[in-house]
C-alpha cells in the first residue's frame, strides 16, 4: 500500500537533522549534488540549495511525501489543462501561454498572443500616432508582474515609458499623470474580471485626465487587457483594442498573457517572446524532471522542512540586483495569495502551518538594515539570494564585484557563524540560504526565474494538499467596503467610530 501523507510526515519528523557544517563535512560532493544549472535562452541559471539543511535521508523521505501527495498526477493535471482548482472547478493554464500544456490551450493562447504582438508592433510603427508613455492601470496580479518585468528589463532601453498604477489612492495616479504628456499617452486597463473597483475608478480618472487635457477621443487611447472582453466593450473600448486572455489563467499567473502588454510595449515583441521562452524552459524541466532532480520540487522540500519541521514563520528573498527590487513584492502575492490557506483542497481544516510570510529586499541595502536579525536574531529565517554574474550597469566593474562578493559573503556568514565568548559578538551560524545565480539577467532568465517560483509554489501546495489557485480570503474585506459604501449596515463600535471620525458614516 502506498505511504500516506501522515506516515511520510511521521518519518520526516523522526529523521536526524544534521547541521550545515555536518552535512558539508559528511559529503565532499554536496555542492555538486545540491546544485544544478538550467540552460535558458543564451545563458543559464545556477540553483544552489547546498546551504540548506536537506540531507540525502530527508530528501528521500520528502520524495515519499511527494508520492503520498500524488505529486506526479497533480503535475500531469496541471500541464494537461485539467481541473487543479477544485473550489472554482478550473484548470490553471499559465504554462500554455509559454507553449507548454494542452494542445488546444497552447494553440488558443498562441493566437491571442499573436494578436497582442500585432497591436504592439503596430503601435511601435505609429498606428496610434506618437506614443511615448503608457499608464498601465491594474492591481494585484494585473500589476505586480508587469511592474516587475518592466523595472527589470526596460530600465535604459524602454521603447515606451511605462508607469504602472495600482493603488486607488489618487496620489499614485497623479504621480503618473505628472510624468506623462497626455497627447502621447496610452492607457492600458488591466483587469481579469474588468470589475475591480480600484482599477475601474483609476481608469475613469485617467480618461477624464485625457479629456481635460485636450485629447479628443480618450477611449480611443485605451487598450483593455481582460478575460472578459464583453465587459470592456460595455465600458466603451473598441474591440480592436481589447486583448483577451483565457479565464483559466489565474490573476497572479497572468504576466504571460495580454496582462504582459506593457512589458511587450516597453521591451518589444521579440524580447517578450524570449521571456516566455525562458519560462517554457523551466516548464519543461518541471514537467519532466523527477524527484530531487526537479528544481522547484527540491526547493519546495526545503520550504516544507523549514516551515513545518523548524517552525519558520517567514522566508526572505534578497536580490543582489537592483533590477529585481520588485521581485519580493511579486513573490508575496504569488506565494501568500496562493498558499496562505487554512483548509485542504477538499475543504478540511489543516493542522499544520501553510505558506510562510514572504519578505525581502535588495542587497546590499538590506545588509545595513535587516540582516542583523538574520545573523543574530532569535528567528530562524531561510533566505534566498538571487544575483546575476553579468552586471546590469556600465560603471567601474568594482560596483558589481563588490555587490557579488557581499552576496556570497552573507550566505557564508549565515552558515559558518563565528563563536565568541562575548555574547553580543557571537554568531550562532547554521543559518540556511539558497542561491540563484543567473549568467545574465535578460528576458529569458527573468522568465525562468518567475516560472521557477510559480512551480515551487505549486509543488508546495501539492505537498500540503491545498489548492493554490483560489483566493477567497480577499473577498470579505471587499464585501464590507461595499456595505460601507451602500450605507445603513451595522458595524462593530471601533469601525463605526472610525467611519464617523472620517465622515463616512
Ligand atoms: O483581490 C485579489 C485579486 O482577485 C487578485 O487575485 C487579482 O490579481 C487582483 O485581485 C486583481 O483582479 P483583476 O485582475 O480581476 O482586476
Q: What distance in angstroms lies between residue 191's CA and the mean position of ligand 1's atoms?
A: 7
Residue 461 half-sphere exposure toward CB, CA atoms < 13 A: 28
pLDDT of residue 156: 76
d(CA 344, CA 351): 10
pLDDT of residue 505: 87
Per-residue pLDDT tens for 152-194? 999 877 899 999 999 999 999 999 999 999 999 999 999 999 9
Q: What distance in angstroms lies between residue 190's CA and the mean position of ligand 1's atoms?
A: 10
Per-residue buried b or exposed e for 464-473, using 16+ beta carbons within 10 Å of the residue's own CB? bbbbbbbbee
Q: Kindly indicate the confidence band of residue 2, based on its pLDDT and cuts at 50, 70 and 90.
A: low
Per-residue pLDDT tens for 93-106? 999 999 999 999 99
Best residue for ligand 1 mutational test, from 196, 200, 203 (most atoms within 8 Å of Cβ): 196
Other Cβ atoms closer than 10 A to 478? 11
pLDDT of residue 405: 98
> Is the Cβ atom of 141 under 6 angstroms away from ligand 1?
yes
Q: What residues are paired with 436 via a beta bridge?
A: 47, 386
Q: Does residue 1 surpass a pLDDT of 60? A: no
Tell me if 95 sits within 8 A of 32, measured CB to CB: no
> Is the Cβ atom of 137 under 6 angstroms away from ligand 1?
no
d(CA 67, CA 15): 18
State the catalytic residue, choosing from 32, 208, 290, 478.
478
Q: Does residue 210 surpass a pLDDT of 90? A: yes
Q: Whose CA is nearest to atom 16 of ligand 1?
A: 191
Residues 6+ away with beta carbon under 8 Å from 473: 337, 340, 341
> Is the Cβ atom of 166 under 6 angstroms away from ligand 1?
no
- Indicate the pairing of strand 383-388 with strand 433-438: parallel
pLDDT of residue 3: 80
- Cell numbers placing 257: 498573457
pLDDT of residue 438: 98
Q: Does residue 73 surpass a pLDDT of 70? A: yes
For 37, the 3-state DSSP assignment is strand
Q: What distance in angstroms lies between residue 142's CA and the mean position of ligand 1's atoms?
A: 7
- Segment (H or E) for 244: strand 242-244
Tell me if 403 sits within 8 A of 364, measured CB to CB: yes
Percentage with pLDDT > 70 across the chain? 100
| End-to-end CA gap in the chain | 62
- Does residue 337 have an active-site annotation? yes
Best residue for ligand 1 mutational test, from 138, 142, 470 (most atoms within 8 Å of Cβ): 142
Q: Whose CA is nearest to atom 4 of ligand 1?
A: 251
Residues 6+ away with beta carbon under 8 Å from 123: 131, 160, 186, 265
pLDDT of residue 109: 98
- Does residue 486 have an active-site annotation? no
Dihedral sign of CA atoms 188, 190, 194, 197 in order: negative
pLDDT of residue 489: 85
Atom of ligand 1 nearest to the CA of 475: 1
Residue 301, CA distances (Å) to 14, 297, 368, 411, 461 in order:
16, 6, 30, 19, 11
Q: What is the mean pLDDT of residues 441-466?
A: 98
- Indicate the pairing of strand 185-190 with strand 161-165: unpaired
Q: What distance in angstroms lies between residue 100's CA and the mean position of ligand 1's atoms?
A: 24
Per-residue pLDDT tens for 484-497? 988 888 999 999 99
Q: Whose CA is nearest to atom 8 of ligand 1?
A: 141
Q: What distance in angstroms lies between residue 98's CA and the mean position of ligand 1's atoms?
A: 21
Q: What distance in angstroms lies between residue 140's CA and the mean position of ligand 1's atoms?
A: 5
- Segment (H or E) for 386: strand 383-388
Per-residue pLDDT tens for 228-277? 999 999 999 999 999 999 999 999 999 999 999 999 999 999 999 999 99
> Is the Cβ atom of 75 under 6 angstroms away from ligand 1?
no
> Is the Cβ atom of 191 under 6 angstroms away from ligand 1?
yes
Q: What distance in angstroms lies between residue 128's CA and the mean position of ligand 1's atoms?
A: 29
> Is the Cβ atom of 232 under 6 angstroms away from ligand 1?
no
How is residue 38 annotated by DSSP? E
Q: Does residue 295 surpass a pLDDT of 60? A: yes
> Is the Cβ atom of 192 under 6 angstroms away from ligand 1?
yes
d(CA 338, CA 454): 10
At how many degrees (to 10) do helices 269-288 and 144-153 cross?
110
d(CA 280, CA 45): 14
d(CA 217, CA 223): 13
Q: What distance in angstroms lies between residue 195's CA and the mean position of ligand 1's atoms?
A: 9
Q: Kindly indicate the confidence band of residue 12, based on its pLDDT and cuts at 50, 70 and 90.
A: very high
Q: Does residue 334 surpass a pLDDT of 70? A: yes
Residues 6+ away with beta carbon under 8 Å from 487: none
> Is the Cβ atom of 333 under 6 angstroms away from ligand 1?
no
Q: Whose CA is nearest to atom 10 of ligand 1?
A: 140
d(CA 185, CA 161): 9
d(CA 88, CA 82): 12
State the catalytic residue, choosing from 337, 341, 400, 455.
337
- Does residue 124 have an active-site annotation? no
Q: What angle do CA 466, 469, 470 make, to 5 degrees?
A: 90
Amino acid at each position: 500500500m502506498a505511504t500516506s501523507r501522515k506516515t511520510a510526515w511521521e518519518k520526516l519528523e523522526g529523521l536526524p537533522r544534521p547541521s550545515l557544517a555536518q552535512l558539508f563535512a559528511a559529503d565532499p560532493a554536496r555542492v555538486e549534488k545540491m546544485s544544478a544549472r538550467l540552460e535558458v535562452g543564451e545563458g543559464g541559471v545556477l540553483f544552489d540549495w547546498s546551504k540548506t539543511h536537506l540531507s540525502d535521508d530527508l530528501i528521500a523521505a520528502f520524495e515519499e511525501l511527494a508520492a503520498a501527495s500524488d505529486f506526479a498526477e497533480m503535475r500531469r493535471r496541471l500541464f494537461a489543462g485539467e481541473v487543479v482548482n477544485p473550489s472554482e472547478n478550473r484548470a490553471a493554464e499559465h504554462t500554455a501561454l509559454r507553449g507548454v500544456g494542452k494542445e488546444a490551450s497552447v494553440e488558443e493562447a498562441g493566437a491571442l498572443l499573436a494578436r497582442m504582438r500585432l497591436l504592439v508592433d503596430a503601435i511601435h510603427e505609429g498606428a496610434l500616432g506618437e506614443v511615448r508613455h503608457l499608464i498601465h492601470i491594474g492591481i494585484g496580479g494585473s500589476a505586480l508582474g508587469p511592474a516587475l518585468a518592466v523595472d527589470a528589463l526596460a530600465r535604459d532601453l524602454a521603447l515606451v515609458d511605462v508607469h504602472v498604477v495600482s493603488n486607488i489612492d489618487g496620489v499614485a495616479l497623479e504621480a503618473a499623470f505628472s510624468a506623462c504628456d497626455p497627447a502621447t499617452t496610452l492607457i492600458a486597463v488591466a483587469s481579469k474580471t474588468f470589475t475591480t473597483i480600484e482599477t475601474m475608478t483609476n481608469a475613469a480618472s485617467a480618461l477624464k485626465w485625457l479629456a481635460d487635457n485636450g485629447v479628443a477621443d480618450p477611449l480611443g487611447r485605451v487598450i483593455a487587457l481582460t478575460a472578459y472582453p464583453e465587459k470592456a466593450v460595455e465600458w466603451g473600448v473598441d474591440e480592436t483594442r481589447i486583448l483577451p486572455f483565457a479565464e483559466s489563467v489565474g490573476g497572479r499567473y497572468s504576466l504571460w498573457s495580454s496582462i504582459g502588454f506593457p512589458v511587450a510595449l516597453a521591451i518589444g515583441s521579440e524580447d517578450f517572446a524570449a521571456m516566455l521562452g525562458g519560462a517554457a524552459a523551466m516548464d519543461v524541466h518541471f514537467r519532466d524532471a523527477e524527484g530531487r532532480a526537479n528544481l522547484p520540487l527540491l526547493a519546495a522540500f526545503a520550504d516544507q522542512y523549514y516551515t513545518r519541521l523548524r517552525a519558520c514563520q517567514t522566508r526572505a528573498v534578497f536580490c543582489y540586483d537592483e533590477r529585481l527590487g520588485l521581485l519580493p513584492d511579486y513573490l508575496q502575492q504569488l506565494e501568500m495569495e496562493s498558499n496562505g490557506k487554512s483548509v485542504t483542497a477538499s475543504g478540511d481544516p489543516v493542522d499544520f502551518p501553510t505558506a510562510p510570510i514572504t519578505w525581502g529586499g535588495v542587497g546590499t541595502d538590506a545588509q545595513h538594515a535587516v540582516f542583523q536579525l538574520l545573523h543574530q536574531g532569535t528567528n530562524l529565517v531561510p533566505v534566498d539570494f538571487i544575483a546575476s554574474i553579468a552586471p546590469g550597469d556600465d560603471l567601474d566593474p568594482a560596483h558589481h564585484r563588490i555587490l557579488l562578493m557581499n552576496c556570497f559573503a552573507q550566505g557564508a556568514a549565515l552558515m559558518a557563524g563565528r563563536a565568541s565568548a562575548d555574547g553580543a559578538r557571537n554568531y550562532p551560524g547554521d543559518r540556511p540560504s539558497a542561491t540563484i545565480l543567473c549568467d545574465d539577467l535578460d528576458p529569458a532568465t527573468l522568465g525562468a526565474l518567475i516560472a521557477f517560483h510559480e512551480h515551487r509554489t505549486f509543488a508546495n501546495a501539492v505537498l500540503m494538499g491545498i489548492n493554490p489557485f483560489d483566493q477567497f480570503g480577499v473577498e470579505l474585506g471587499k464585501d464590507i467596503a461595499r456595505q460601507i459604501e451602500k450605507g445603513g449596515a451595522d458595524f462593530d463600535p471601533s469601525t463605526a467610530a472610525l467611519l464617523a471620525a472620517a465622515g463616512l458614516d
